[in-house]
Structure 1
């Protein structure tokens, strides 16, 4: 299995990433993708002009790899790509692309869902929103923790 894990300080080209991921794929019956976008409003409705994802070189990449390896070990997938932005991101820009491939749809969906739940709570990023009211740090929300908790009750 190939795991393509990357951190990018430049905007993502989701179509190009997906085209490369799909190229030559003949044994898999399912590819599931998720693209996360930066929003122009915070959870409280405040205007967000910039989302900044601070990272620690080496540590953040390792955390992404660990999460991807956990998804690959847990679900019968054949391939996975995880490309995550870092640095300053403007509303509407892709933050993350996850794609999973499997012979059948269910494992591809579950692996992508699991990986996104883990990324929201466990990835080594420090998030800051900046808008007209200033800057503020963002922590994982209760609903993010609740989404992750459902995976802890299931066996791998």
Structure 2
């Protein structure tokens, strides 16, 4: 299982917003994009999707930009991935679509593989649901503190 580039970019942008949450100052797209090396136009589309789904809010004007819509400790990674990938919360099957006619014709081996895949998806969802933006920010700060400095 891999995280799509869309979800990865969305999470990177949200980490920037989460790190600036306490300042309550909106960040412009170009600020976020330059910090995380995300193409501006692509980030604009991602932030629009996140705004429509209530994860970020936008502020107009010369000092406008984007802010988190909720506290970073109330936004889970699972919510972000579901929002960006278009997956309904608590959806089963592939992207929430079950195919009843296929279930009737499945072999025992097919059912075993299907059950394994569903268990893997459930485990992944539980991991993503247990991690918030605040958790990611804290992990980022720990990683920044462990990078060695090289002096010439």
The bucket for the TM-score relative to the shorter chain is under 0.3
TM-score normalised by the chain length of structure 2: 0.25
Pick the structure with greater CA Rg. Answer: 2
Highest RCO, 1 vs 2 (Cα 8 Å, sep ≥ 6): 1
Higher helix share: 2
